[in-house]
Amino acid sequence: MNKTDVIIIGAGPIGLFAVHQLGIKGLKAVVIDNLDKAGGQCIELYPDKPIYDIPAVPECTGKELTDRLQVQIKPFKTNFYFNERVEEVKSDKENWIVKTNKKNHFIAPNIIIAGGVGSFEPRRISLKDAAKFEGKSIFYSIKNKDDFKNKNICIFGGGDSALDWGLELSKFSNVTLIHRRKEFRGSEHTLNEINKLSKQGKIRIKTPFQLEKINGNKKIQSILIKDDNGKTEEINTDIILSFFGLVMKLGPIAEWGLNMDKKTISVNPYNFETNKKGIFAVGDICNYSGKLKLILSGFHEVALASVECFKRARPNEKYKFEFTTSSKTIQDRLGKK
């Protein structure tokens, strides 16, 4: 059991800034995120898109913002638990116990939920048989490419992941690329390579087709694909790889007994606490009258929530408001001389 002052769920920009606001108050935090790195939507959805409304930063990309926030919180040496999803939250006297899908346990008087629109998951194939093949014949990512040697593989999707894996796996497997329209989206170099392999017969391209049916019992034997005019074609295959990006799912958060409004958590606008004492929600996932889903609003929300976190984590100490410009204590915490 890891004991800390605050458990932060979500390593997006607001979760990262939470570390800062807690850190300068002398509070320790851990951060848990289902993705494999920090940044949340900034990294997954728009790493290269410029953001123009961060105060005093006229322009920066999602990636730049994430990088800078990580630099800003470096002094606090925070532990991040990536590729982990919080499954369960339960109370234990004045504390909350959080359990993740990797069986890690955390205990703290405060939880800050900075979960955005939920955790990112691969967009799964919607055919009802697809679930039973997942992890056996259907994959949404590749951990070890040796598992994909000397197979018949159908790859669905038209973006970088589909194309890059198509190129890679075609070196030792029989690859068919299937996409709903004729154009693929990738770098010129990748597209040229794909075209070359296609002409040499080393990779098969089927467009404009979509997956219609999966045949097989324990393993996939073949699939049926269909074009816009209803024409179908059967392809024998061992494996389906599907690259349709990520979706955001609220997941277990909905079952923690928090007051919800659609997919957001209701909070008060004074300290962003939910209906459960010591559980806060900030950023896109919280909801109060007048809420704006902006990064800068999240920064404000977490600053206020951190004060309440302090009061709960240090009930015997008086909270003292301080400026970073003048507080020796804060400057010490930031490692400034």
Query: What does the binding site for another protein look like in residue numbers (CB under 8 A)?
Result: 41, 45-46, 49, 117-118, 123, 126, 157-159, 179-181, 183, 185, 210, 228, 244-245, 247-249, 284, 293
Q: How far is the CB of 106 from another protein (least distance, A)?
A: 27
List of long-range contacts for 130-138, beta carbons under 8 Å, 24+ apart: 130/214, 133/214, 133/216, 133/219, 133/220, 133/240, 136/218, 136/219, 137/216, 137/219, 137/220, 137/238, 137/239, 137/240, 138/220, 138/239, 138/240, 138/241, 138/242
When the beta carbons of 37 and 311 are compared against another protein, the nearer one is: 37
Q: How far is the CB of 264 from another protein (least distance, A)?
A: 11
When the beta carbons of 279 and 285 are compared against another protein, the nearer one is: 285
When the beta carbons of 7 and 11 are compared against another protein, the nearer one is: 11
Q: How far is the CB of 121 from another protein (least distance, A)?
A: 9
Separation of alpha carbons 272 and 265, rounded Å: 10
Q: How far is the CB of 214 from another protein (least distance, A)?
A: 15
Identify the residue whose tokens are 């990779």.
203
When the beta carbons of 23 and 283 are compared against another protein, the nearer one is: 283
Separation of alpha carbons 316 and 314, rounded Å: 5
When the beta carbons of 244 and 288 are compared against another protein, the nearer one is: 244
Q: Which neighbouring-strand residues pair with 51?
A: 60
Q: How far is the CB of 247 from another protein (least distance, A)?
A: 4
Q: How far is the CB of 84 from another protein (least distance, A)?
A: 21
Nearest to 185 by CA among 243, 110, 237, 225: 243
The string of DSSP letters for 123-138 reads: PPP-STTHHHHBTTTE
When the beta carbons of 47 and 216 are compared against another protein, the nearer one is: 47
